[in-house]
Structure formats: structure tokens, C-alpha cells
């Protein structure tokens, strides 16, 4: 049905190899024949069959991306960076939503391996058993872990500096003068969240005698954030600031705070983590720790491609991206007097030091 290379060769009275070379643009073909073949190709509407080519060359020019759920805006950004890098290199990217379900995860990885993809960017290894991970290693397919790390396996990784981020957030709140700070986070086993917590605690440590950190574990989603905030606000009435372990949690917190008829930042300061797009659009705009999500996704497939195309076996690389505090309008110093309970935006901005103009004292 479809026109094949052989048809094309016949049409031009050349051998298949000549036709093949002309299409591929390889060396050793006279301009004249190449052009003739190319012309015939468009005339006949020839489309190379990449799967045949893949069988012959052993490379599918496809990559796999497995993550828990593309609907998470954080992942979405990673995915976009990854896809762009793949596209730039002439690769396609198959998307796999594992939902952290071990069975789906395994099935996806198997399929990818069976399709002989050039490599896999993986965001969710946690649920893979040791044995399964070793199966992957044995198979020899390049893998890079994205926003995730794993000890003891020869997988490369690209991550953000979660510890530094936690430290940054903690410091910011402390510098602002907060002394009773709640940190709302997710499951204890979650490596990234654990690092953020560690960073936060480190910040607190420096002023150990005056600061009371309260750590609440829950679901790292907006629902979880809502629930955790409710308990935090009830149990710890003296809390003046909340550090949410990610922006989704922070959104839930905002809702809870508003429901209590409290104001952000006048009554409670709030800081998030990730800097997803929506963080700039809430009321008030959320101060948060920025992770270079797009760049991380991009870097992950670039690293993967190096592994996939480099013939030699290399030791795993680990790329660590820096993070950055994005100051918006959800934090201010805790109010001590009624007077400091400022409501006009202008005054708030001035207080938060948002004014970018050169300070007169400098």
C-alpha cells in the first residue's frame, strides 16, 4: 500500500542503497542522482518507514518519560522541558503516567525497553523494587532520574537543591521576625521533602532558643495543605508563619486561612516551594522558592542523550540545580501592634522591601 524504498528505487532505476543514501543524505552520492531521487520521493509521496529503519539500525529515536501524574503542574513543566530537548535532538518522547502504582510502573518500563527506546527519564523510581531496578540496570538501557535520587544504583540524576531551598525559606521567615513557624509537608519518606525539612530545620537551629518550629506531616497536595493548615491553626494559635513544602500545599493553606477569616500576610505569612505558574496569580501572590523546572527537564534528556549516544560506559553524573527565593506578597513581619496590621498594598510593598529602586541609605 504505502510506497517503499524499493518502489522509489525502481522508479529511478537505481539500487535500493542508492535510494537509501539519497534519502538519508549520506556521503558518496552525486548531486544529480540525489536530486533525482529526492524529486521522485516527493512525487510519489514516499515516507520512510521509521520502524523498519529502527530495526535495521537498532535505534528508535524515541525516549520514555515516566512520571506519576502529568496533571501536577510541577511535572508538567519538567515534561515540557524534556520534550523540547528531545524534539531538538530529533527524538520523540512517550509519556507514561505511573500514578506511583508499582504495576503500571513496571509495565511501562518493560514496554519502553521492549520498544528499544534510547533511554528513560524517570521521576518515580521509588515504587520500583530493588529487583526491578536491577533488571533495568542489567538491560543496559540508559536512565536518568529527574527530581529524584537513588543511592547505590548507577543512574544519573538531575535534581534541585532542596536543602538550600528549605534553608532559604526558613531564613526568610526568621529574618522577617517570625518565631513560631509551622512547616507543612508530605510523607516522611519523600526524599525531596525531607531535604526541604532539613534545610528549614537548619535555618531554625541558628536561633534555636527563640524559634519554635512545628512540623506537620500530611498529604502533599492542596487538600492535604488545607487539612494540615486547619490543624496547625487550631493547635498552634501562636503560629505567625507557614512554610508549605510545595505550592500545591500552599494553595490549600490559603484556602484554610481565608476560611478562618485570617489575612495573608497581615495575620499569617506564607511561603511555598516550586514556583508553579499559579503562584504568581493567587491573592496575594505567593512568595515561594523557585526550582528551574523546565531547565531540569531539559537537562535530564540532554544527559540521557549523551548516555544513549555515547558508546562508552560512563559513571553516573549528578546535576544539582540551584533554587531561588521569589519574594511576592505573602510574607511580612509578624504584627506586634494593631498599627502594624497594614492593609493597603502600597504600605505592604514598602514593608516587604519590594521596592526595587536604589535604597537611599546605600
In this structure, how many other beta carbons lie within 10 angstroms of the beta carbon of residue 297?
Answer: 29
Q: Is 309 in the site for DNA (CB under 7 A)?
A: no
In this structure, is the dihedral angle defined by the CA atoms of residues 27, 31, 33 and 37, taken in order, positive or negative? positive
Binding-site partner at residue 6 among DNA, a copy of itself, none, CB < 5 to 8 Å by type: DNA
Taking Cα atoms as reference points, which of 108, 126, 99 lies closest to residue 64? 108
* Helix boundaries (H) for the chain: 5-12, 16-24, 31-44, 50-57, 73-88, 102-114, 130-139, 162-176, 191-205, 222-235, 247-259, 293-309, 345-352
Binding-site partner at residue 88 among a copy of itself, DNA, none, CB < 5 to 8 Å by type: none
Q: Is 111 in the site for DNA (CB under 7 A)?
A: no
> CB of residue 113 vs DNA: minimum separation in angstroms?
12
Give strand pairing partners of 67.
Answer: 97
Within a 13 Å sphere around the CA of 253, how many CA atoms are in the beta-carbon half? Answer: 36
In Å, how far from its chain's centre is CA 347? 35
> Whole-angstrom Cα distance, residue 242 to residue 255?
13
Q: Is 10 in the site for DNA (CB under 7 A)?
A: no
Q: Which is nearer to a copy of itself, 124 or 282 (CB)?
A: 282
Q: Which is nearer to DNA, 54 or 102 (CB)?
A: 54
> Whole-angstrom Cα distance, residue 137 to residue 148?
17
Binding-site partner at residue 15 among DNA, a copy of itself, none, CB < 5 to 8 Å by type: DNA
Binding-site partner at residue 92 among a copy of itself, DNA, none, CB < 5 to 8 Å by type: a copy of itself
Q: Is 295 in the site for a copy of itself (CB under 8 A)?
A: no
Footprint (CB under 8 A) of a copy of itself, residues 150-209 = none
Give the interface segment with DNA, choosing from 32-40, 61-69, 90-98, 144-152 (CB under 7 A). Answer: 32-40
Q: Is 282 in the site for a copy of itself (CB under 8 A)?
A: yes
Q: Is 348 in the site for a copy of itself (CB under 8 A)?
A: no
Q: Is 6 in the site for DNA (CB under 7 A)?
A: yes
Q: Are 46 and 3 in contact (CB under 8 A)?
A: yes
Locate 242 and state its grid cell: 507557614
Locate 98 and state its grid cell: 505511573
Binding interface with DNA (CB under 7 A): 2, 4-6, 13-18, 20-21, 23-24, 27-30, 32-34, 46, 48-49, 52-53, 55-58
The residues binding a copy of itself (CB under 8 A) are: 1, 45, 47-52, 54-55, 60, 62, 65, 69-71, 73, 76-77, 79-80, 83-84, 87, 92-97, 104, 110-116, 135, 138-140, 222, 251-252, 254-255, 258-259, 277-278, 281-283, 285, 345
Amino acid at each position: 500500500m504505502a510506497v517503499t524504498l524499493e518502489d522509489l528505487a525502481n522508479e529511478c532505476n537505481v539500487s535500493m542503497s542508492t535510494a537509501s543514501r539519497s534519502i538519508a543524505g549520506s556521503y558518496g552520492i552525486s548531486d544529480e542522482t540525489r536530486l533525482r531521487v529526492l524529486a521522485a520521493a516527493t512525487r510519489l509521496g514516499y515516507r520512510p518507514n521509521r520502524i523498519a529503519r529502527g530495526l535495521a539500525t537498532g535505534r528508535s529515536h524515541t525516549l520514555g518519560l515516566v512520571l506519576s501524574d502529568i496533571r501536577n503542574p510541577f511535572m508538567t513543566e519538567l515534561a515540557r522541558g524534556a520534550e523540547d530537548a528531545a524534539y531538538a535532538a530529533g527524538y520523540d518522547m512517550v509519556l507514561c503516567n505511573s500514578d506511583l502504582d508499582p504495576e503500571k510502573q513496571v509495565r511501562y518500563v518493560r514496554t519502553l525497553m521492549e520498544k528499544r527506546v534510547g533511554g528513560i527519564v524517570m521521576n518515580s523510581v521509588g515504587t520500583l523494587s530493588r529487583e526491578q531496578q536491577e533488571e533495568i540496570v542489567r538491560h543496559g538501557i540508559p536512565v536518568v532520574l529527574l527530581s529524584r535520587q537513588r543511592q547505590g544504583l548507577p543512574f544519573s540524576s538531575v535534581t534541585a537543591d532542596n536543602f538550600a531551598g528549605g534553608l532559604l525559606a526558613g531564613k526568610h521567615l526568621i529574618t522577617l521576625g517570625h518565631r513560631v513557624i509551622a512547616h507543612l509537608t508530605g510523607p516522611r519518606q519523600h526524599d525531596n521533602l525531607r531535604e526541604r525539612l532539613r534545610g528549614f530545620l537548619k535555618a531554625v537551629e541558628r536561633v534555636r532558643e527563640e524559634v519554635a518550629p512545628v512540623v506537620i506531616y500530611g498529604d502533599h497536595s492542596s487538600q492535604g495543605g488545607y487539612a494540615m493548615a486547619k490543624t496547625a491553626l487550631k493547635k498552634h494559635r501562636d503560629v505567625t508563619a507557614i512554610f508549605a513544602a510545595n505550592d500545591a500545599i500552599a494553595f490549600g493553606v490559603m484556602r484554610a486561612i481565608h476560611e478562618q477569616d485570617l489575612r495573608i500576610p497581615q495575620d499569617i505569612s506564607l511561603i511555598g516551594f516550586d514556583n508553579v505558574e499559579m503562584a504568581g496569580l493567587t491573592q496575594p501572590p505567593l512568595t515561594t522558592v523557585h526550582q528551574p523546572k523546565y531547565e531540569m527537564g531539559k537537562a535530564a534528556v540532554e544527559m540521557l542523550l549523551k548516555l544513549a549516544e555515547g558508546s562508552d560506559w560512563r559513571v553516573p553524573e549528578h546535576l544539582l540545580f540551584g533554587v531561588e527565593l521569589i519574594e511576592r506578597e505573602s510574607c511580612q513581619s509578624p504584627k506586634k501592634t494593631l498599627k502594624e496590621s497594614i492593609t493597603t498594598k502600597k504600605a505592604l510593598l514598602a514593608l516587604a522591601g519590594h521596592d526595587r529602586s536604589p535604597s537611599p541609605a546605600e
